[in-house]
């Protein structure tokens, strides 16, 4: 949602989305437990909110103890932050488009 307000074209949005999705897929502990990941990637994994969800689901499926409330809290916090940033980005983009339409030449279609 954050990128859609800035990209303004479908191709650019898909390219940026793919460039962001691949590192996010490999950085959480989805492929292996965090204790087996090398140091630098483990630090990135700790910052990724998906890591907490993956670890909680893995522990619940296997029957290990987990801090489910931490995972839910991290997910709720990151979702709230993303919605806030997307709302601010949309407002700024909308104001920019409105200004461009006001300054458009009268002979051009502003649509």
> pLDDT tens digits for 12-33?
777 777 787 777 776 666 777 7
**Domains of the chain: which residue ranges?**
4-14+24-101
Q: Mean pLDDT, the chain, as a whole number?
A: 76
Report which listed range, 16-20, 36-40, 68-72, is most confident. 68-72
The counts of H helices and E strands in the chain are 5, 0
Question: What is the average pLDDT across 71-79?
Answer: 90
What mean pLDDT is predicted for residues 81-102?
74
Cβ–Cβ under 8 Å, residues 67 and 56? yes
Q: What is the pLDDT of residue 77?
A: 93
DSSP state of 36: G
Can you say how many angstroms the Cα of residue 21 is from the centroid of all Cα atoms in its chain? 9
């Amino acid at each position: 949602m954050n990128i859609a307000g800035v990209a303004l074209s479908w191709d650019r949005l898909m390219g940026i989305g793919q460039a962001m999705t691949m590192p996010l897929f490999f950085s959480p502990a989805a492929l292996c437990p965090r204790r087996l990941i090398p140091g630098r990637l483990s630090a990135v994994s700790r910052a990724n909110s998906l890591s907490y969800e993956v670890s909680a689901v893995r522990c619940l499926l296997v029957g290990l103890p987990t801090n489910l409330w931490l995972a839910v809290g991290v997910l709720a916090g990151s979702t709230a932050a993303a919605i806030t940033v997307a709302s601010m980005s949309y407002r700024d983009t909308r104001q920019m488009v409105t200004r461009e339409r006001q300054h458009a030449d009268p002979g051009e279609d502003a649509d």
